[in-house]
Chain A
Amino acid sequence: MTITTGKQLSGTGKLTQKTRRQAIWMVLPAIIYLLVIGIFPLLFALYLIVHKWVLSSGKPPQFIGFGNIIRLIQDERFFIALGRTVAFAVGVVTIEFLLGLLIALLLLNHGRMLLRTFVLLPMIIAPTVVGLTWRFMFNSEIGVLNFFFDIMGLESPLWLGDTTIAKFSIVLVDVWEWTPFIILILLAGLMSLPPDVEEAAHVDGANYWQMLWYVKLPLLRPAIFVALMFRAIDALRTFDTIFVLTAGGPNNVTELLSIYAYKVSFRFFEMGYGTVLAAVLLIIVLLFSRLLVPILEKR
């Protein structure tokens, strides 16, 4: 669409050469800016990937070729973090989708604008605030969640201290933080469904569930796809919330790939290997985003 616009203008004659030149000048500063701050670091990352550079040692970077890559494929901690990251992403996206769909449908029928405003709060406040608020509520001595468990006569779990429960605790926090995102997208999708479809289905005697399954969900498919893709990408990239919540602990069971990459880079100061770990995440995310790009461009 954008391309035809350009062609049409260039068809109208002399004016357009000048117009076109001005149009290029309009976009150039932004492009140069993104090249310097966005793309140059990536090229620099390629340099880092083939070098051993331990900042704390004071030694200059040393070329090691595929050394970092070989280390990567022998690094058990990396594979565990990678598998954990994928499991985390699959887990949170599934739960958030099901819960989000349910709440979106409920809001569609019972929703007031005010309720919608409440619902979006968790995802707009700072991830560090989210992580620390939950850390406070999870606290084993003064945490309010343990108080609720006490009232119900249940034994309070060690939310962040137990190596099994901690994995579910970080999922719970992510579900709290990001289900609103799914709700907002699906609600917007549901509200834009043409009313005549629903009426026709009504006349044909479809009940609520049949209507949902055979009419609404298929029509909603594009919105669902967009919601799932965005969530999957963001779940794979998750860092802030979990970092302040557990920093990967206890015993590294909540160490996502982004957190492992952070530790290698800024606790052990291994710039080269840290970059390799982050690059794996970048490649996965970019592959995912390729699926999303055509949909976004169609609009």
Chain B
Amino acid sequence: MDTNKKNNGNFVKKLMDGGAFGLLALYILFCLFPILWIILTSFKTHAAINTFPPQFIFIPSFENYNTLLTSHDFIGFLTNSIITATVSTALVMALGIPAAYSLARYGIGGHRLSDWILSMRMFPPIALVVPLFLMFRFVHLLQTVWALILVYTAMNLPFAIWLMIGFFKDVPKDIDDAALVDGCTPWTALWKINVPAVAPGLAAAAILSIIFAWNEFLFAVILGGGTAKTLPVAVAGYVTDRAIFWGPMSAASVIALVPIVIFAMFVQRYLVRGLTLGAVD
């Protein structure tokens, strides 16, 4: 009877394992299907997209990519996206690295400052977009990539500083103290000792900053638009109340998501830390 019970237990365990695996597989399918579907759609012709029932097996066509990549406008949007994401991230790092190091090591401003930086991360973009719109209108920077670069820098700086404070705190303080005693200034201690020590973390902060800027929509549509359209705005522009172009929309979406997915692979290890501002490691 004892062995019988044990066998039963094994069977139940196997059943539960099978069920668990089935559930997991179902969830993964749920996660992946929309992404796979938009990728598939991007390789369909206009006619193939607009048939019902939808086709799962078809001859791939590069029609949509051809349309986009030979379009002067679209190349412009892609360039805008690349410029805003990289230049704003460069600014974030230039301003953020010294600030984070100083806050982590010398406690300038104490808790109040880091507290404030943190709250800035929580601002709803909609609360800033009207004043920023009017400010940039006043200085004639609307519909320029500069408006977006300036705003994305401000958007990503608080989170990047916060994240990098954590990384700098991981460096043993003794090393810094010794360097200072040996006549290093904080600047040289930062560049020669600390930055090399936490380089992977800083790279992760930069990549996250690129991802956030690349994906951003609200500021892009209000402050950019027109000649400063970025990819998310362009993607949204293919589907309006007046006209819907699923083909170019899906191809533009794929072009927008490929670099992000690749970047995310690199920063996977830091993603949780980055998204929770270091609360969870």
Contact = CB atoms under 8 A, between A and B. Distances in A.
A56 interface: no
Q: Which 8 A-B pairs have the closest CB atoms?
A: A2-B107, A41-B131, A37-B154, A30-B99, A6-B107, A26-B98, A23-B106, A26-B102
Interface stretch (A67-75, A76-84, A89-97, A279-287): A279-287
Contact of A121 (B35, B123, B124): B35
A267 to B, nearest CB: 12
Interface residues of B, number: 106
Given A4-B107, A26-B108, A278-B126, 13 more contacts: A1-B107, A6-B110, A9-B106, A31-B99, A34-B117, A126-B217, A127-B215, A136-B246, A226-B280, A237-B124, A237-B126, A265-B130, A288-B122
Given A23-B102, A23-B186, A118-B32, A286 B119 contact: yes
B70 interface: no
Interface of B: 20-21, 23-24, 27-28, 30-32, 34-35, 37-38, 41, 49-54, 95-96, 98-99, 101-111, 113-115, 117-120, 122-135, 150-151, 153-154, 157-158, 161-162, 166, 173, 177, 180-181, 185-187, 190, 211, 214-215, 217-218, 222, 231-233, 235-236, 238-239, 246, 249-250, 253, 256-257, 260-261, 264-265, 268, 271-272, 275-281
A198 interface: no
Q: Identify whether the interface residues of B are mostly helix, strand, loop, or mixed.
A: helix
Given A19-B186, A285-B123, A24 B108 contact: yes
Given A22-B185, A239-B125, A265-B130, A118 B31 contact: yes
Nearest to A233: B122
B95 A33 contact: yes
Nearest to A135: B239
Nearest to A131: B236
A193 interface: no
B104 A2 contact: yes
13 contacts: A20-B108, A23-B105, A29-B98, A30-B98, A33-B154, A38-B128, A48-B134, A122-B31, A126-B214, A133-B34, A261-B126, A289-B118, A297-B114
B255 to A, nearest CB: 10
A197 interface: no
A133 B251 CA distance: 11
Contact of B95 (A1, A22, A29, A116): A29
Interface in A151-192: 176, 180-181, 184-185, 188-189, 192
Interface size class, chain A: 35 or more
A211 B265 CA distance: 33
A150 B239 CA distance: 25
A203 interface: no
A32 to B, nearest CB: 9
A74 B51 CA distance: 48
Contact of B37 (A41, A133, A188): A133
Given A37-B150, A132-B235, A110 B114 contact: no
Contacts of B129: 265, 278
Nearest to B27: A103
A27 B105 CA distance: 11
